[in-house]
Structure 1
């Protein structure tokens, strides 16, 4: 590829990562996005050209057009013009495969935790000098705001996004899976179709390797119900991270009888803030992370095994993860205001919300209270998951609810943040207007020294925390 390459929707996390990778290869980059942002400004700083009006994009001389699923029917005229000029049109997942076609790929998928797990694997391989190509759907200091980079090593590590089904276009020989949960049902429509997609992702008929967190109920269901009548490749290997009772279950014993030595269980237990596991000739190893929460530990175990099948000793990997660098917007401390810690977290699905609230409550214990400021994400997700979201939010001692962050969606009649009213206790829940300065008056009236304010959601909820710190 010589370029220039046009990226439609270049400001998105996945698209901007790919654009940075193209710039690493000295390929000229032209981008379109409706809005300017820190992300697009950094791309321009690195040499990309940016256009906010899609009708003014010069198509002459463009070698390839890369688009994301955010580019939809509203842009049909531009797509027709591109096709009329016979310019190759690639979805971002296809372009990702082009970039890493000469490397051995490690993909990381899952309803939750894939960004953190991808970062963990990338940090391990980077610190041992393997210089991997990396693509992460989040901001981490490992990549210095870039989201993606081209490495000179043998491996490419990337996050596989299941939201639109295109993660099935990735052709990784090593596949990691953290969990399966009810998310993106606006796309999949049914749980069964969602499970079918993840089952296909596992690629049991390939000659590759899959590393699964098999204690997850969603993954267990797929292993139980969808592996009965399939033929495994004789060169396929399956690593299952699981607790001791899992090894005595019917689904595991049946799977073990089919795969024999191709199935490798990695048995772990969690004690306090430590995950202990027994693995092959390495014996018992311990994993500790700088972040609280069982989900971080289990994601870390998947990352350690993913690094192991890539050639890194588990003992070395656990040592590296003891100083895990983390990802922006995942339990990110924004600052301290009058003795109150202000934290931001991207969690927006019921499972993620419950995990982060519980882990931080356990961390605080008697030191202070956890005050949650939650911003629902998308009207469709709120409508589909309303009761489950409410159950997770009900764990909070003190809860503030912001209006729904639309993420470009049109409002749905009858769906708003006030739809939660029937499901939450009135005495510890307050519904806000979405006007930052006005909302902060209400929030500050509830805060006490030693508390933690958790800004929770995938939208711009962190802006409330940042404004509080400015005050």
Structure 2
């Protein structure tokens, strides 16, 4: 008999609950008043947010975490009663929890539904304990699939642009008063995280991931495919394998919206509604007279040959014009007036780690972006190039941390050619993401490959050392792009603090010199 995810009140326990995809699901379940617990190796603002909505967070991944579900009823109720009355109970492992009404809890009566991501190995002690106890074990995509079936659902798929497109659609529906539930792979200030809960039985906007093949589990009312490329050679052997996954997804959507600018989408899928930046392709939704500068982008929007109005975006790049067209197609399908859609697009500030402005000091602007595939890097740097000659930007500096040995080896040629819009390229060593280096490749190899196409390339393998040497390479007027899906962005606060200190020192020196000059004049 096939196991199904149970939303009737049975507890959920997430192994690795702090991950961007796992935490979004946990948040929605907790907000639906379901018992939620989980473990993660470090405390973050994401796990703190989950605790704030009643989730129990363990600070270690170990078998004893599941003892929460095996205690006697009286002991658990007594502990929870203390929590409800205001104090935080302490458990043997030193963790604390905040829970709702004890009468709503099934922790001690029912084995939890254990949720894992692809990153959790079967050798994980917590996973092994769950299996030994007979807990129903689900992949995170199973929970998302069940939620997609539980709502009027809009699922955004594609190799690139999923997070921005799904966030745009969610924001558009929110501004239109639709009150959607939203699950995305990035954090958005408009709903203070990577998920929000909306009206029960209403719309769900979800980002649907293809990286591990789990896209085939989803049956949305509306599906969107932004593009199709090979991006995860650790899972797929060829592009054809990726295409097959999207073709299965297509058959499971009540309605599919697709981008004709991607040749693979145009030739391998048959979307019911299409969009394109090229007005000659005959798409249902297209644009004309695109104007991009350092302030943003404007374009005329056309629907089936009829002029709808002007689109204005503050998020940069032609790729975001394409993402916005997907959102427009969804909005119009749901009957929204274009004026409502256009207002939402203009006020959308973007998702974190998608051309996210992190700071400006000493004349240098710091941007954090998740781009880690050659196509993404090329699109992001093209958007950055539009900023030059505006806002006192004179140079684009790309600082890139390659992500996964398999991806770096597979796309070495493409990586070597995708930095043309950067004036200076700084590379670190490869972020493994848990992979074994079967390809015997390093960041140095990638740096040498890029040097064949670019005259200014610097290789600094150590993140610890990188922020210390950056002052030797950066100058006023630089737009500094921190690119990658690993942990490169963790050094950004240190870099900014370093420049803020320098800026303050320069200001104090300038004031001191002015004071001396005034004293001499007097």
TM-score with structure 1 length normalisation? 0.87
The question of whether the paired residues in 1 share the 8 Å contact of 2:163 and 2:186 is answered with yes
User: Structure 1 residues 278 and 319 mapped into 2: Cα distance closer, same or farther (>3 Å)?
Assistant: same
Return the alpha-carbon distance in structure 2 between the equivalents of residues 34 and 464 of structure 1.
Answer: 20
Aligned with residue 401 of structure 1, among 419, 422, 427 = 427
CA distance in 1, matches of 2:11, 2:331: 35
Partner of 2:360 in structure 1? 336
How far apart are the structure 2 equivalents of 1:415 and 1:153? 49
| 2:369 counterpart of 1:345 | yes
Residue 394 of structure 1 and its aligned partner are, at CA, apart by 4.3
Candidates 97, 104, 114, aligned match of 2:152: 104
Contact 2:154–2:204, Cα closer than 8 Å, also in 1: yes
> Per-residue CA shift, 1:104-139, capped at 9, x if unaligned?
110001101010000110011111111111101101
Please say if 1:245 is aligned against 2:280: yes
Residue 341 (structure 2) aligns with: 317
State the match for 1:3 in structure 2: 10
Query: Which residue of the other structure, out of 315, 330, 336, is the alignment partner of 1:291?
Result: 315
Tell me, in whole angstroms, the C-alpha distance in 1 between the residues paired with 2:398 and 2:132: 51
1:370 aligns with 396
Contact 1:139 1:328 (C-alpha < 8 Å) held by counterparts? yes
Q: How far 1:150 sits from its partner (Å)?
A: 4.3
In structure 2, relative to structure 1, the CA distance for the partners of 1:147 and 1:390 (3 Å cut) is farther
Tell me, yes or no, if structure 1 residue 269 matches structure 2 residue 288: yes
Q: Distance in 2 between matches of 1:135 and 1:151?
A: 14
Listed one character per residue, the Cα deviations across residues 353-391 of structure 1 (whole Å, up to 9, x for unaligned) are 001111111221474101111111112211211221121
SS at match of 2:436: coil
Aligned with 1:272: secondary structure? strand
* 1:53 counterpart residue number: 61
The list of structure 1 runs, each at least 4 consecutive aligned residues, that deviate by more than 6 angstroms after superposition, is none
Residue among 214, 228, 232 paired with 2:260: 214
Superposition deviation, residue 345 in structure 1: 0.6
The answer to whether residue 33 in structure 2 is matched with residue 26 in structure 1 is yes
Query: Which residue is 2:117 aligned to?
Result: 68
**Partner deviation per Cα, 1:123-171 (whole Å, 9 max, x = no partner):** 1111111111110110101221243434336211100000011121111
1:458 is aligned to 485
Alignment gaps of 5+ in structure 2: 1-7, 71-109, 293-297, 499-522
Cα gap change, 1:442 to 1:322, in 2 (>3 Å): same
Q: Does 1:445 align with 2:472?
A: yes
Q: How does 1:10-159 map to 2 (within 5 A)?
A: 10-51=17-58, 52-58=60-66, 59-60=69-70, 61-75=110-124, 78-79=126-127, 81-152=129-200, 154-159=202-207
SS at match of 1:187: coil
Structure 1: where are the runs of 5+ without partners?
228-236, 248-263
Deviation per residue, 1:61-107 (Å, 9 max, x gap):
333122211112323x6555434544322221221233343321100
Which structure is larger by alpha-carbon Rg, 1 or 2? Answer: 2
By how many angstroms is 1:457 displaced? 0.8
Please say if residues 5 and 29 of structure 1, whose CA atoms lie closer than 8 Å, have aligned partners that are also in contact: yes
Match for residue 80 of structure 2?
none
Distance change in 2, residues 1:217/1:30 (3 Å): same
Whole-angstrom distance in 1 between the partners of 2:385 and 2:194: 32
CA contact (8 A) 1:440 1:464 kept: yes
1:313 and 1:267 mapped to 2: Cα distance?
17
Of 169-178 and 391-400, more deviation after overlay is shown by 391-400
The answer to whether the 8 A contact 1:2-1:63 is kept is: no
Aligned residue in 2 for 1:256: none
For the 8 Å contact 1:6–1:62, the answer to whether it is kept is no
**Contact between 1:143 and 1:149, CA under 8 Å: does it hold in 2?**
no
Using CA pairs below 8 Å that are at least 6 residues apart, which structure has the higher relative contact order? 1
Q: CA shift at 1:453, angstroms? A: 1.1
- Structure 1 residues 161 and 5, CA gap change in structure 2 (3 angstroms): same
Residue by residue over 1:33-60, the C-alpha shift from the partner in whole angstroms, topping out at 9 and shown as x without a partner, is: 2333332233223322222132212253
Paired residues, number:
439
Change (3 A) 1:142 1:293: same
CA distance in 2 between counterparts of 1:181 and 1:411 reads 23
User: 2:460 matched to 1:432?
Assistant: yes
RMSD: 2.2
Q: CA deviation at 1:434?
A: 1.3
Instruction: Provide the rounded CA distance (Å) in 2 between the counterparts of 1:315 and 1:282.
Output: 15
Per-residue deviation at 1:411? 3.3
Aligned residues of 2:273 and 2:284 also touching (Cα < 8 A): yes
Question: Could you list the per-position Cα deviations for residues 409-434 of structure 1 after superposition, in whole angstroms to 9, with x for gaps in the alignment?
Answer: 23346311001143223741111131
Q: Could you tell me how far apart the structure 2 residues matched to 1:281 and 1:310 are?
A: 19
